[in-house]
A and B are shown apart, each in its own frame.
Chain A
Amino acid sequence: MRSVLERIGFSSLIGLIASASLLVAAPSCFAQGGEPQYFAIRSARVVPVSGPPMEDATIVVARGVIVAVAKDATIPADAWVIEGKGLTVYPGLLDALTDVGLPPPPPPPAAEGTPRRIGEAPRGPEDRPNSTPWRSSADELSLSDKRIETWRSAGFTTVVSAPKPGFFPGQATVLDLAGERPGDLVVKSPVAIPVSIRPISGFGSGFPDSLMGVLGYEHQVWLDTEWLTKAEAAYEKNPKGIARPRFDRTSAALADALEDHALVLLSGNTALDIRRALELTDHWKVNAAIYGGQAGYEVAPEIGAKKVAVLVDLKWPEKEKDSDPEDFGSLRTLRFRDRAPSTPAAFAKAGVKFAFYSGAITNPKDILKAVKKSIDAGLAPDAALRALTLSPAEIYGVSDRLGSIEKGKIANLVITDGDLFNEKTKMKYVFVDGRRFEIREIERPKDPPKGDITGKWRLSYTSPEGPEESTADLTMSSDGTITGTLTSKRGTATILSGYLSTDRFNFIINIPIGPSFADVTFNGTFDGTSLKGSISVQGFSIDFTGTKPTNSSSLGKLAGAYRGSYYEGDAR
């Protein structure tokens, strides 16, 4: 299928999309944006991470793979060429532990205040509380997770996503953040089994409700896993006269994951936690890494001596918002907040292999800012870059396919107009599996706005399929910048960029058209009560009107009047 489409030029694809009708899903078999699968980035500064930076080099990408990285690489005739002068190419960034791509965990089964039935609360390790190690994030991916796009736009081509929550929540997967179907994202699964030691519910809520209870439980689970493996082997050999070992889904899943060389991820953020995690790796005799790691500045040499890798949480500790303004914490807490960003530098010095992960950071643009803090606290920038690329790839055993710019590796690239860690640097393109994504800046309004466009608007227009309505939920800030969402029968899209400048509005959403996403631009005039303008996508446009349904009687009438005029006047 692909080979045929590769031969179709870009312009003919646009035609195809157009004829397949506006805003309607076309057969999903095209490459990203209707673009070819051959690219060349010419004369750019290339930072491969696996080797020294190269000036004025060319990278050739073919069908998702880097086929050449060299100063004088031959550019195939049919390749799209990006002029790289003034641009820097980095390997795609890797977020080493997140749940991007996974739907939010379901709410806890027992709502607050509802009495728990007897027998519902776990009464011991045999009830396997909060354990679902058979869950694989590869099975649960949701392409509707907006973070796939926002993370990608921040330069993250790859994430390691793990299910939540629980003591053994499930299996983590390496994902590339682009694809038409969930399966397209999966690079390797499973790569890790996260283990949490924090009690999930409080005293009296069922086993286990204390830290030591959780630890006892987890010891028992690993023992049972070992026992089941042995018992099943013995039973298989000669089942006669032996009581059949009882099947246990938890132990079976853990045994299978270890068989697949999955890394056991142990939580450890304070010095106390980290030391305990180091002891647990010995107790459990598993191939483990620690996640959290923020107090590593206290224990870096001990971790280095154990040769255990650490995933460093980039959500640096700070005073919680909305907490007691007078309570600034103990001296120990203050020291921790002050020194946590110096941990990566301490790790680098002690020879600890480490990688960064976004943790509780919700805006992916804050991830590199958090990395910058650790650079300011003494971490060498190239070490910081490595902790975002090759190091996590090595930790998870996928450095043979990604993590650096090398011939033969997956074409995951970030192209910027300067140094990655410079705040003024802009990302221009991101390549995921050889698919090109352009990164745009949000447009700023030129003049102050006239009126306030904030509110829920009903937009009416006629698509090639017939009359349609959608809802724009807009919020305007005082400078005229518009944010919000647009909801149609196809789903909800977030406004990427928008403004009201005098009475002219403009906002852009990006929606799936065919296999990829396309910009849809809404622009027109706002007269204080209604919107009038056009919707444009890939060179085509239609008119629309917008009214504001409201409880206020006068405005309601007005809206009704407009609606009436729409049906008469616009039914072409």
Chain B
Amino acid sequence: MSHGNRMCARFSLAFAALLFSSVFSIAAPREAGPVILIQNATILTVTHGTLEHGSILIKDGKIAEVGPAIKAPKDAKVIDAAGQFVMPGIIDCHSHIAVEGGINEGSISVSSIANIAEVLDSDDINIYRDLAGGVTTANILHGSANAIGGQTIVIKLRWGQPASKLPFEGALPGIKFALGENPKRSNFSLPGQPKRYPSTRMGVEETIRGAFTEGRDYKNSWDTYNKRVAAGEKNLIPPRRDLRLEPLVEVLEGKRYVHSHCYREDEILMLLRVAKEFGFKVRTFQHVLEGYKVADELAAAGVGASTFSDWWAYKVEAYEAIPYNAAVMTRRGVVVSINSDDAEEATHLNQEAAKTIKYGGLTHDEALKLVTLNAAIQLGIDKRVGSIDVGKDADLVIYNHDPLSAYAVAQKTIVDGRVLFDRDKDIAERAALEKEKKDLLEKQKKAAEKKPDEKKPDEKKPETKKPDDKPKPPSDAARRDGGEEMVDSLAGGAQ
């Protein structure tokens, strides 16, 4: 079988940029946004304190100016935020929203062939709901069913834009790892399914080590091939491209972040050892509920920790958690964030961060950083977002109270200088949407009702009119008891 050069030509360009294109090149330049001036606000910059009665000028989607009193340029849309608080848009370092068709490729223990970037669901209503909770950026992760899970991506919550416009331009893609009970599947089994390897923590370690050994060999085979081509050798068969191993090579080359789900100290240290052995870095440990036990090791390894505020004991490996985790790790020099792992939890991450003031005594700014700047650092996007600084993306939330207060409700959420959530507007639009829904419902109900009517004469299958069935006048007694059918069937049985 030889398929000629035409086939080769057709394919030659096809995959040159397949892997990266979905992550990097699809984000088209956006048109300039409106000029907005936010006035009279309490500005929580996160990096340089709080500014009372301050203004923020937004131009071209960026923060153009921050100061005590900025004169509104011509054509600027002015938002009077008197008595209100502005903070940087919240960054959720562990989210599973906006994904179509399942967040787990759970069939295999190394599912790195799957890429979340390809199944982003820009229509997921959770994008809007999370915006309403002040979230502007989210790290969309594969699930934790596998020792090495799928490829992950950071998105901005650009509600209303197509999926290709969601990825955070320039943010390094990631890959999900998972340690402990989920990848070894001790919490569930599927009836009729064989148990998938691994089923112990030892096996999880072996799976990761095995995959990276393969990845290293794969990288070597390409390096060797490229050298031989460079040396002028002809008629070489290139190594077969392997989409499962390519992301692992990117991890080895530092082009892809590792975000690893974990709970226990032993597994945390295990992954640090494996990473050292293969020469890659773990970017963040996720959940990391026992992180407080190994905070020094985390800090020394320069690994970020993204944890829950006070959610624990939902399974054995989560028993040793304490609400002081974030504060303890912060005090020991770890870059810590608090994440949601859940669409609803994401709508009040500001309050989750506030709990660290009670549990561990973090300062106001330290608490805010847990859901803004620190998450940005962990995701490598802190030059763009995470604080209110001139030149950064205009990703902002306006709250009616201090965002760390239990009374705080987001009023407006701005992404790239565009107001994508406006509480007043949302409330104002509800009646019209309700009406539209009601009208459509009526229209469709009517259409659905019309159909069976048309067919009625044909559909009356004379099931009860078998030739041996004589119509029986139902007795009054049977009617009273509601036992008409039973009387009939008894009569039939007696025949």
Contacts and interface: CB of A to CB of B under 8 A. Distances in A.
Nearest to B111: A213
B26 to A, nearest CB: 7
B467 interface: yes
Given A215-B119, A234-B236, A279-B26, A476 B194 contact: no
Given A204-B193, A455-B466, A213 B105 contact: yes
Contacts of A256: 1, 3
Contact of B114 (A208, A242, A243, A319): A208
B123 A235 contact: no
Given A210-B114, A258-B10, A285-B11, A331 B433 contact: yes
Nearest to A282: B21
Interface stretch (A26-34, A53-61, A113-121, A424-432): A113-121
A2 interface: no
B122 interface: yes
Contact of B118 (A198, A212, A252): A212
A213 B162 contact: no
Contact of B3 (A220, A259, A284, A555): A259
B277 interface: no
A475 B461 CA distance: 8
A446 interface: no
Nearest to A247: B1
A213 B143 CA distance: 12
The residue among A115, A215, A258, A332 with the most chain B CB atoms within 10 A of its own CB is A215
A478 B460 contact: yes
In the complex, which range does the number of interface residues on chain B fall in?
35 or more
A451 interface: yes
A285 B10 contact: yes
Given A231-B237, A331-B433, A272 B467 contact: no
B21 A283 contact: yes
A529 interface: yes
A256 B7 CA distance: 9
A224 interface: yes
A477 B114 CA distance: 55
Contacts of A220: 113, 242-244
A227 B236 CA distance: 12
Contacts of A279: 22, 26, 164
Contacts of A125: 113, 243-244
Nearest to A235: B237
Nearest to A548: B467
A205 B193 contact: yes
A452 B467 contact: yes
A210 B193 contact: no
A235 B2 CA distance: 10
Which secondary structure characterizes the binding site on chain B? loop
A113 B460 contact: no
B448 interface: yes
Interface stretch (A334-342, A408-416, A460-468): A334-342
Contact of A216 (B15, B104, B114): B114
Interface string B190-206: 11111000000000000
Nearest to B192: A115
A207 interface: yes
A543 interface: no
The residue among B194, B461, B466 with the most chain A CB atoms within 10 A of its own CB is B194
A118 B194 CA distance: 6
Given A208-B105, A331-B433, A233 B465 contact: no
A302 to B, nearest CB: 8
Contacts of B108: 123-124, 207
Given A283-B18, A285-B10, A335-B440, A209 B192 contact: no
Contacts of A255: 1, 3, 7
B30 interface: no
B102 A211 contact: yes
Interface in B441-486: 441, 443-445, 447-448, 457-462, 465-468
A533 interface: no
Contacts of B115: 212, 215-216
Contacts of B495: 552
Contacts of B241: 223, 227
Contact of B105 (A216, A233, A475): A216
Interface in B342-388: none
A206 interface: yes
Given A229-B7, A232-B1, A478-B457, A212 B462 contact: no
B465 A454 contact: yes
A319 B444 contact: yes
A475 B458 CA distance: 11
Contacts of B276: none
Interface in B218-246: 235-238, 240-244
Interface of B: 1-8, 10-11, 13-15, 18, 21-22, 26, 100-108, 111, 113-116, 118-119, 121-123, 142, 150, 162-164, 190-194, 235-238, 240-244, 433, 436-437, 440-441, 443-445, 447-448, 457-462, 465-468, 495
Interface pairs A-B: 10 shortest CB-CB: A211-B101, A216-B113, A226-B11, A213-B105, A210-B102, A285-B14, A334-B440, A207-B107, A212-B114, A204-B190
25 contacts: A116-B193, A117-B194, A121-B107, A125-B243, A125-B244, A198-B101, A203-B190, A211-B119, A212-B116, A212-B150, A230-B237, A234-B235, A236-B2, A243-B237, A272-B100, A272-B121, A283-B18, A285-B11, A331-B436, A334-B437, A334-B441, A452-B465, A452-B467, A478-B460, A555-B467
Interface of A: 110, 113-118, 121-125, 198-199, 203-217, 219-220, 222-227, 229-238, 242-243, 245, 252, 255-256, 258-259, 270-272, 275-276, 279, 283-286, 318-319, 328, 331-332, 334-335, 337-338, 451-452, 454-455, 475-479, 481, 528-529, 548, 550, 552, 555
